[in-house]
Amino acid sequence: MQLAPVFPILYRILQPTFPTCLWSANIQEPIVALTFDDGPHPQYTPQLLSVLDKYEIPASFFWLGVCVERSPEVAKAVYQRGHWVGLHGYNHQMFTSFTSPILKQNLAKTQLAIAQACALDLDYVQTHVRDVRPPNGVFTPQILKSLQSWNYRPVMWSVVPEDWVLPGVAVVVQRVLSQVQNGALIVLHDGFFGGADVAQSTDLIVKKLLQRGFKFVTVEQLWQLSGVV
């Protein structure tokens, strides 16, 4: 059973319940943030970068530490293009399975992997790479409290086409286009699950949204527009 029809309902319920997360931006302008989870991937991410280069638009990537360690050159290529980078945990294990100290170590380990791959000072990464999207979007109020006490910013979503089950490019594109609104935060995947179609899906999504007059921004810019931070 695919869960795609449920995600818009969850969004409408959870967004007002957890207002300190970034779910979207309440704005009138046709602006969206395009985000990608579970990478970097040695094949799918470079294909995706070619699409983003083609349209000259920014995106935001929520990385797994283990994937950064496996493909450091890809991570560096993403960062050097000016795309925004966030954390998705070290190995996609749900945050609810960790004790608070272990979760803190998990995120710090991912920051270290990013610093090493992108040739960045660790202090800089700890200060600037602090957006966190929990794997599978699963969190508790206590996890959010912990993240914020450690100076992380929780980032969620408003459009989730469930591309990781590979329903087909046409289905993914249709789901995004039918749900997108001004200030939307779109989630796609460039990792092992979903990544095989991500370049083609993104190409069509971006083309259609540009035709509708949408502008693409990073998660950092969406934070600023949202007024939450």
Domain ranges within the chain, ordered by starting residue:
7-226
pLDDT for position 157:
94
Beta bridge partners of 155: 22
Is the confidence at residue 153, as pLDDT, over 70? yes
**Domain with residues 7-226, CATH architecture:** Alpha-Beta Barrel (3.20)
Sign of CA dihedral 143, 148, 149, 150: positive
Q: Which residues contact 105 (CB under 8 A, 6 or more apart)?
A: none
* 180 SS3 class: coil
Identified catalytic residue from 37, 38, 131, 203: 37
d(CA 132, CA 85): 10
CB 90 within 8 A of CB 61: no
Count Cα atoms within 13 angstroms, Cβ side, for 195. Answer: 19
Task: At 33, give phi and psi (nearest 5°).
Answer: -115, 125
Secondary structure (3-state) at 158: coil
Of 189, 190, 197, 203, which residue is the catalytic one?
A: 189
Lowest pLDDT segment from 3-17, 74-88, 204-218: 3-17
CA 133 to CA 26: how far, in whole Å? 20
pLDDT at 14 over 90: no
Stretch 101-124: mean pLDDT: 98
Contacts of 174 (CB under 8 A, 6+ apart): none
DSSP letter at 118 equals T
The per-residue pLDDT for 4 is 63
**Residue 188 above 70 pLDDT?**
yes
Tell me the three state secondary structure of residue 23: coil
The total of other beta-carbon atoms located within 10 Å of residue 181's CB is 12
The span from the CA of 225 to the CA of 213, in Å, is 18
Residue 88 annotated as catalytic: no
Both tokens of 95, joined, read 């945050």
d(CA 145, CA 125): 21
Whether 112 has a pLDDT exceeding 50, the answer reads yes
Known active-site residue 37: yes
Strand locations in 30-107, DSSP E?
31-39, 60-63, 84-87
pLDDT for 18 equals 80
From the number of C-beta atoms within 10 Å of its C-beta (0-12, 13-18, 19+), residue 190 rates as: buried
Query: 31-39 and 153-154 as β-strands: parallel, antiparallel, unpaired?
Result: unpaired
